[in-house]
Amino acid sequence: MKLSATIRRSVPLVITFIAGLLVIGDYYFKVKAFNDFITQWMKFVNVAGSFAVIIGYVTLTRIHARRLNQRREGWYNSLALLVGMYAFFLLGVVFSEGKFTAHPTYTYWFNNLYVPLDATIFSMLAFYIVSAAYRAFRVRTAEATVLLISAVIVMLGRAPIGPAVWPTFGPITSWIMAVPNNAGMRGITIGIALGVMSMGLRVLLGRERGYLGPGA
């Protein structure tokens, strides 16, 4: 049965509105039966959310199997991805004797293959931070100079070398983090929270429909 466009657009908006009100109400109203219902509902959403893993698997398989099939440029990378993805799946589900990711073989490959690979890419940031800081930190304006000086003080204060050379680096660093840094961060955090609240309000009222997908 094909639903009309109006129903296809309106029903999700109504569900969103009611669901949002109920979850907000759970925070403000302490009525046991209502709160228990919301708790059960959250558990249901929790279970439903874990199916997102399957969506990721299916989508990646579809995309990379097609690349492999069509022998597109870099198809061997797609092969490596599919082999790795399904090898870990088999180790963690099929051949894990019911222990899943607690199985020693899975843990071995996780600790000795996945962890070093992931940590290596993250460690590239160390190199990039130095080159970015070298390029970006110029005393072009008074504000940039203040930023530069405080960055140098905090870098020295947060590593052992700073307090070893001059013990006062520690307290100065703590003051910079506790006062100017906190002031700026709190301002930005409040602004972002208000922006998110505004977006949430628009979603509840059906004025923001991007999450519904194309054509909404």
Partner 1 sequence: MMEENEMSFFDKLEKVDPRLIYILVFLIVSLPLMRPLGLPISMSPMTVAFYDAVEKVNPGDVVVVSIDYSAASSPEQYPQTKAVIHHLATKGAKIIGLGFWADGTPFIDSALKDVFGKSKDHPKYGTDFVNLGWIPSQEVGMKALGGDVQGTCPKDYYGTSTATIPMMKDVKTGKDFKMVITLSSGTPGVPEWIRQIQAQYGVTFLYGVTAVGAPGMRVYFPAQAAGGLEGLAGAAEYEVLLIKYGYKGTLAPPMDSQSLSHLLVIAFIVLGNVGYVLRKHGKAK
Partner 2 sequence: MLATLYMSMKGISRPTIRKIAGLDAIGEAVGRATEMGRPIHFSPGIGGLGTDVTPQTLAGLSVLAHVAELAARYKATLWTTINRAEVQPLAAEIVRQSYLKAGAPEAYDEDKVIFLSTAQFAYALGVVGLMHREKVAANIMIGGFWAESLLFAEGGYLAGAIQVAGTANTHQIPFFVAACDYCLIGEEILAAGAYISRDPVQLGAIWGQDYAKFVAIALIAVGIILSLAGSDYLWKLLRGPLW
Q: Does 177 bind partner 1 (CB under 8 A)?
A: yes
Q: Where are the alpha helices (DSSP H) in 51-112?
A: 52-69, 75-89, 104-109
Angle between helices 5-28 and 32-50 (to 10 degrees): 130
User: Interface residues for partner 1 in 15-74 (CB under 8 A)?
Assistant: 27, 35, 38-40, 42-43, 45-50, 52-53
User: Interface residues for partner 2 in 83-102 (CB under 8 A)?
Assistant: none
Q: Does 163 bind partner 1 (CB under 8 A)?
A: yes
Q: Does 122 bind partner 1 (CB under 8 A)?
A: yes
Q: Does 94 bind partner 1 (CB under 8 A)?
A: no
The two structure tokens encoding residue 93: 């589900």
CB under 5 to 8 A by kind: which of partner 2, partner 1, none does 199 bind?
Answer: partner 2
Smallest distance, Å, CB 164 to partner 2? 26
3-class SS of residue 70: coil
CB 49 within 8 A of CB 42: no
Q: Which region holds residue 208: left if phi is over 0, alpha if psi is between -120 and 50, else beta?
A: beta
Q: Does 199 bind partner 2 (CB under 8 A)?
A: yes
